[in-house]
């Protein structure tokens, strides 16, 4: 407790707080160690935590395999997108919402670079194929468009690669796999080519394509930090079929098979 110039006490004593008003009046209030919060706000904060952890999981998974400079807006945009995905779960109550595969389409075309986007550098959209074994094939169209955007003073080559993120948001695990890197000379047209990347069966997959300018000096490539030409975007979101759908399809096939009758004895 402290004593003011008028000799009156102010401060905390036990579970009470004594306050001296401007007019000299002294009041006593009950001390609250915690701010009262509604149950709904506490639950809503739990859902925000789910979105934030998912955002961090994606960013940390991409960091070792892609060149993505960190900047504050990326955190904000990705968190906002993941919040939208969490809140889209209408099957769960507030406070226990999950990231469901059918809502991951909100990440389609999400760009991780600060300025450039893949669709802004490629005149034709890449195609993505996913086979039953979990192999992803990303086909890049002719590079006459992107090549012309790279003058020699910016870079001598264009580096392209694809990354797949097989994500289990419930267990907070990611299987990140990177394709081979292709170095395309800047200003030189190229025919269509493909990347092949594996994925983890049964998990939703984010397919990310990176385009990055490189300068060849001697026998070594150096990355150009020009924001206009560094791009990394989600070009597709792959969702595995639901187990019940697979089981129903299998049951349908079994039902169509004719039943073998045992041969009559004697």
Secondary structure in 3-state letters for the chain: CEECCCCCEEEEECCEEEEECCCCCEEEEECCCCCCCCHHHHHHHHHHHHHHHHHHHHHHHHCCCCCCCCCHHHHHHHHHHHHHHHHCCCCCCCCCCCCCHHHHHHHCCCECCCCCCHHHHCCCCCEEEECCCCEEEEEECCCHHHHHCCCCCCCCEEEEEEEEEEEECCCCEEEEEECCCEEEECCCCCCCEEEEEECCCCCCEEEEEEEEEEEEECCEEEECCCCCCCEEEEEEEECCCCHHHHHHHHHHHHHHCCCCCCCCCC
pLDDT tens sequence across 161-198: 999 999 999 999 999 999 999 988 877 778 889 999 99
**Model confidence band, residue 157 (pLDDT cutoffs 50, 70, 90):** confident
Report pLDDT digits (tens) over 215-236.
888 889 988 888 888 899 999 9
Same-domain pairing of 237 and 163: yes
For residue 16, give every residue at least 6 positions away whose Cβ sits within 8 Å of its Cβ, in sequence order, or none: 28, 29, 30, 31
**Alpha carbon distance 253, 265 (integer Å):** 30
Do 162 and 30 lie in one domain? The reply is: no
pLDDT band at residue 32, thresholds of 50, 70 and 90? Answer: low
262 found inside a domain: no
In the prediction, which pLDDT does 71 show?
82
Q: Flag whether 252 is in a domain.
A: no
Q: Do the domain assignments include residue 171? A: yes
Pair 161, 52 in one domain? yes
Q: What pLDDT is recorded for position 114?
A: 85
Residues 152 and 95 in one domain: yes
Q: Beta strands 16-20 and 135-140: pairing type?
A: unpaired
How crowded is the C-beta side of 70, counted as CA atoms within 13 Å? 7
Q: Looking at the predicted structure, is the pLDDT value of residue 34 above 60?
A: no
Q: Is residue 253 part of a domain?
A: no
Residues of the chain above pLDDT 90, percent = 45
Q: Is residue 151 pLDDT above 80, yes or no?
A: no
Using one digit for the tens of pLDDT, what is the confidence trace for 3-13? Answer: 555 555 455 55
In a domain, 21, yes or no: yes
Q: Are residues 103 and 232 in the same domain?
A: yes
Note the pLDDT of residue 144. Answer: 61
Q: Residue 141 — pLDDT band, cuts 50, 70, 90? A: confident
Per mean pLDDT, which range of 36-45, 158-167, 210-219 is the poorest? 36-45
Indicate if 23 and 47 belong to the same structural domain: no
Whether residue 181 is contained in a domain is answered as yes
- Whether residue 81 contacts residue 201, with contact meaning beta carbons closer than 8 Å, is answered with no
CA-wise closest residue to 204 among 228, 234, 181, 178: 234
Q: What are phi and psi of 171, to 5 degrees?
A: -90, -5
What token pair was written down for 137?
């094939």
pLDDT of the residue at 21: 60
**pLDDT tens digit string along 67-106?**
887 788 999 999 999 999 999 999 999 999 999 999 999 9
Structural domains counted in the chain? 2
Closest CA to 173 of 200, 152, 140: 200
Do residues 142 and 29 share a domain? no
Confidence of residue 261 (pLDDT cuts 50, 70, 90): very low
10 and 82, same structural domain? no
Range of the domain at 12: 1-34
Q: Which residue has the higher pLDDT, 262 or 88?
A: 88
The reply to whether 238 falls in a domain is yes
Domain assignment present for 230: yes
Confidence (pLDDT) at 253? 53
Residues 8 and 67 reside in one and the same domain: no
Q: Same domain, yes or no, for 139 and 202? A: yes
Give yes or no: residues 20 and 92 share one domain: no
- Both 1 and 46 in one domain: the answer is no
- Whether the Cβ atoms of residue 151 and residue 163 lie closer than 8 Å to each other: no
């Amino acid at each position: 407790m402290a004593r003011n110039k008028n000799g009156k006490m102010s401060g905390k004593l036990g579970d009470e707080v004594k306050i001296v008003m401007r007019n000299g009046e002294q009041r006593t209030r009950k001390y609250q160690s915690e701010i009262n919060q509604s149950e709904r706000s506490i639950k809503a904060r739990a859902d925000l935590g789910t979105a934030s952890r998912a955002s961090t999981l994606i960013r940390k998974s991409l960091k070792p395999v892609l060149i993505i400079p960190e900047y504050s807006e990326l955190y904000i945009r990705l968190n906002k997108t993941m919040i939208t995905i969490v809140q889209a779960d209408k099957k769960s109550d507030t406070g226990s919402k999950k990231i469901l595969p059918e809502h991951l389409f909100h990440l389609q075309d999400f760009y991780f670079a600060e300025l450039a986007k893949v669709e802004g550098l490629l005149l034709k959209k890449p195609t993505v194929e996913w086979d039953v074994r979990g192999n992803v094939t990303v086909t890049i169209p002719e590079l006459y468009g992107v090549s012309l955007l790279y003058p020699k003073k910016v870079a001598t080559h264009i580096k392209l690669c694809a990354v797949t993120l097989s994500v289990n948001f419930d267990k907070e695990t990611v299987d990140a796999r990177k394709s081979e890197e292709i170095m395309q000379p800047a200003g030189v047209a190229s025919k269509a080519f493909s990347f092949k990347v594996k994925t983890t069966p049964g998990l939703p997959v984010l397919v990310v394509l990176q385009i990055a300018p490189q300068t060849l000096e001697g026998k070594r490539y150096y990355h150009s930090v020009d924001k206009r030409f560094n791009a990394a975007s989600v070009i597709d979101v792959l969702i595995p079929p639901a187990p019940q759908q697979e089981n129903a399809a299998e049951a349908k096939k079994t039902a169509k098979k004719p039943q073998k009758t045992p041969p009559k004895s004697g």
